[in-house]
Structure 1
């Protein structure tokens, strides 16, 4: 019961996704066809908000609600990120869904997206099996 706040945060996030139309297959197709700025505006706003938030956390040494320091590990470039990004983008373009809004799409009645969810789970599982054998 102490984690109920996360349920409410998830519900709120789902409502925001639905109302901003980022779960719309049509909006996603517009983005990949370069015919609308809508999704680029939403994604750009999220990136900008993230940059500002991380700078505030770092500059003012913000801590978690439990008092622990927030540690942001440095990122290291790997060529696998290019291949992963291409596969991710291709899947996003084909299915009209990325992992974030999958549950909001299903909750909105687009039950066919369950296939995309199961495929994402299978892909994650397969990556876990093959991770050590993949080039770095």
Structure 2
């Protein structure tokens, strides 16, 4: 497979990640206790950070396809990829939510948490990798019962 992306694609993804990580660290959202305080309704700063990100993303997703026909760095046309709301989405979301609620660690913020000196977060990151590997292994061994979900992947 040839990589026919724009030469600035990877550096810009890195810059976006740095901005994301800095924003999480600056807003203190990389600290698990902040997430736990949000889940217990004692600190409601997290929704403001999430809504800010949702507004920026929503505007970008609404305007860019009207301005351009294709993504500037990849050249691929803009299109919506709709996935069905099925059992996999429901169970996966529930498991993710339970893990997030028990640990107070969102995967995106977990990496940023390393940057603010939370080395204990490595245990959570290891758990995320083991969980993702176990799910991929289980899914590769389980026969596809839902053909629409398999096609959407």
CA spacing shift, 1:68–1:82, aligned 2, 3 Å:
closer
User: Which structure: larger Rg?
Assistant: 2
- Alignment of 1:29 with 2:36, yes or no, is yes
Name structure 2 gaps, 5 residues minimum: 1-6, 147-153
Q: 1:6 to 1:59 in 2, by over 3 A?
A: closer
| Counterparts in 2 of 1:58 and 1:103: CA distance versus 1, 3 Å | same
CA root-mean-square deviation:
2.3
**Would the aligned equivalents of 1:80 and 1:135 in 2 still touch at CA under 8 Å?**
no
Aligned residue pair count = 136
Of structures 1 and 2, the one scoring higher in RCO (CA 8 A, sep 6+) is 2
Picking from 16, 19, 27, the partner of 1:9 is 16
When residues 113 and 82 of structure 1 are mapped into structure 2, their CA distance, relative to the original with a 3 A threshold, is same
Q: Cα 1:73–1:129, aligned 2, differ >3 Å: closer, same or farther?
A: same
Taking structure 1 as the reference length, what is the TM-score of the superposition?
Answer: 0.84
Q: Normalized against structure 2, the TM-score is what? A: 0.76
Shift of 1:110: 0.4
